[in-house]
Amino acid sequence: MRKKLVVGNWKMNGSLARNEALVAELRKLLRPDGVDVVVCPPFVYLSQVKALIKDAIIAVGAQSLSSAKEGAYTGEVSGSMLADLGCSWVIVGHSERRSGYGETNVVVATKVQAALDSGVRPILCVGETLEQRDAGVAEEVVGSQVDAVVSALGVEAASFVVLAYEPVWAIGTGKTATPEQAQAMHAFIRDRLVRSGVSAQGVKILYGGSVTAVNASLLFSKPDIDGALVGGASLVAEGFSAICAAA
């Protein structure tokens, strides 16, 4: 009932030549029946990648956006600029933004709102650190990250947000949450949304953190895992298309 979604986060990787080669390979390999596929290159390559994709098989997303509409915000990119480029998705609150660029729950909520106001679908990242998991507060941390966005947006708008559960300890480390650990947190997130009044049965919750072609099928077999947010493995066409095929 919830169509699977696989999103590639290219992070700060790529070049005109490498993007061209990667998209050409993806166009050959991807069979996106039954799965929606999004790639998120750096801002400066959005137009190039959008033009290379040519057809609607792959959608294009950005990796962040400004919470402001326009004006004196040097270095920032607004939601309406993303929409202008035909960018239909944006990742918000990635742990690298939260830890490295001061994106608090409040900032993240305003960015999610800015995305929705611009007609760009937000992918809200949430997740706990290893210390938080070891201290037994993973649900508390993730729950408050979810609550901050739901209370800022209201329940109606919150149902348009895609969530990505990305345990910080699994991002780029080669350590994946077990399918059972991931399913448990996804079920917790969906329940938290329901308790807040969001009609959450249609809300997609992606898993992110060292997803590969090897572990994707088991993760996707879990009832509350609706796809993946993929970092490293999205830079290799064979691996990324195999993850999409597993969805």
Q: By CB under 6 A, name the binding residues for ligand PEP.
A: 9, 94, 166, 171-172, 208-211, 229-233
Q: How far is the CB of 70 from ligand PEP (least distance, A)?
A: 28
Q: Which of 94, 96, 128, 186 is catalytic?
A: 94
241 is in an annotated binding site: no
Q: Which of 103, 128, 166, 186 is catalytic?
A: 166
Q: Pick from 109, 210, 209, 207: which is nearest to 161 by CA?
A: 109
28 is in an annotated binding site: no
CA distance 170 to 128: 10
Q: How far is the CB of 30 from ligand PEP (least distance, A)?
A: 18
* Cβ pair 50, 56 in contact under 8 A: no
**What are the tokens at 97?**
């933004």
The four Cα atoms 223, 204, 101, 17 give a dihedral, to 10 degrees, of: 100
* Cβ pair 146, 123 in contact under 8 A: no
**What are the tokens at 244?**
């999409």
* Cβ pair 227, 208 in contact under 8 A: no
* Cβ pair 211, 219 in contact under 8 A: yes
CA distance 18 to 37: 19
**What are the tokens at 112?**
């999610």
Q: How far is the CB of 142 from ligand PEP (least distance, A)?
A: 15
202 is in an annotated binding site: no
Q: How far is the CB of 149 from ligand PEP (least distance, A)?
A: 18
172 is in an annotated binding site: yes
Residue 87 or 206: the one with the smaller Cβ distance to ligand PEP is 206
* Cβ pair 243, 230 in contact under 8 A: yes
The question of whether 166 is a catalytic residue gets the answer yes
Residue 143 or 209: the one with the smaller Cβ distance to ligand PEP is 209
The residue whose two tokens read 């064979």 is: 238
Q: How far is the CB of 207 from ligand PEP (least distance, A)?
A: 9
210 is in an annotated binding site: yes
Residue 200 or 207: the one with the smaller Cβ distance to ligand PEP is 207
215 is in an annotated binding site: no
Residue nearest to ligand PEP (CB): 231
**What are the tokens at 90?**
């944006």
Binding-site residue ranges for substrate: 9-11, 172, 210, 231-232
Which are the catalytic amino acids?
A: 94, 166
Residue positions forming the annotated binding site: 9-11, 172, 210, 231-232
